[in-house]
Structure 1
Amino acid sequence: MFAKFKKWVNLTRQKQRREEIAQTIELKNAIININDCDYFVARAQVTDVPEILEVERKIYGATPWNESAFLQEIRRRRDRLYLVVRKNDKLLGFAGCSFNRQTNEAHITNIAISPEYQSKGIGGYLIHKLIRKASLINMEKMTLEVRRSNVAAQRLYKKIGFIVTGKKAGYYFGDHEDALDMELDLSYLKGK
């Protein structure tokens, strides 16, 4: 009898935690100002996927993720958050993050900004927004992978506080470039 009760309590706690995460990662659409330029930020919708893929094509040529992968991720509203940034109704960039309640780890799954809008603060804004959401649901760390050749992105991540923790050989689709594993300790944000 006690074992059944214990199992019920654990399942109830897990369900409550899932609901807490889902509510906390909700996002209201907003006009934001980055470096004296206004942008529209919203949670990604299924209808955004064609434009998300177009941004990836501009950057990588071939898209590392296909339409099905993005659709699956965007539909997981309880433990995923994908943000899009628009200007004049044109999608300029996006970022996605998963939240693992078992390990209390957030993982930036992808981030991409159209080449003509890079180095304007949009990527940094999106990362900070994801960090804030992760800290609100008590994630202990945030991780990501970055191409070994993407020095500009590495510089941004290090400026934010990420550190290199390892390497994944041949990680990337297509060219099999190595990835650097990076991690950010979120414990300093607890209570903020």
Structure 2
Amino acid sequence: MGIGEEKDHEDQDLAHSPSRRCSLDVGEAELSQVSDPEARAFLHQPHCSQAQHPPRKPSRSSTIFLLLLQTIVSLLSLGVLFAGYDVFRAASTPVHIAAPHACGTEAKTARDLNCMFDPIAVAWLPVECHDFNLTGEFMALQKWHYWAAAEGGETLSLANVMQGQHGVFCMGPLSMGRRWMGIRWIGRG
């Protein structure tokens, strides 16, 4: 049987049976009823089996793209999972707020409570809260001046300010031409 005879034989089989196409049928089209050769070739599909049409291997670039996409989705999923866990854990963990270490309202009280004056915070702080290196850098930046009153007048030394003998003082660099920070203590030591 030649190629032409096989085709005629298949056409006869199709004329007597419903369409054997693998794709979605859009009605019961018989090959014998179709006169257009292009439509006939389109409608005539050989048996769709895995042996005749082996699955195509995806291209290397599409495989790499899919791997990257899966990796990114997996990492994002893990990130959302861990973030959700952190939020859950933070919400369920009771917060213990340490009581502030009050240094009092007077210089003598502050010294008795082992507090020291911090020129950056312009306040009495517990020793464990004072950063000596940062204070050194701050003081080295400019020549800071301290005054007993906001309008100027009596200049105080840093040692005098750290003693806490003055209840009201202002500070600022001399080059600014104005006093830019002030503080008022309630008591005097």
TM-score interval for Structure 1 and Structure 2 normalised by the shorter chain? under 0.3
- Higher fraction of helix: 2
Q: Per chain length, whose mean CA-contact separation is higher, i.e. which structure has more relative contact order (CA < 8 Å, sep 6+)?
A: 1
TM-score normalised to structure 2 length: 0.20
TM-score normalised to structure 1 length: 0.19
- Higher fraction of strand: 1
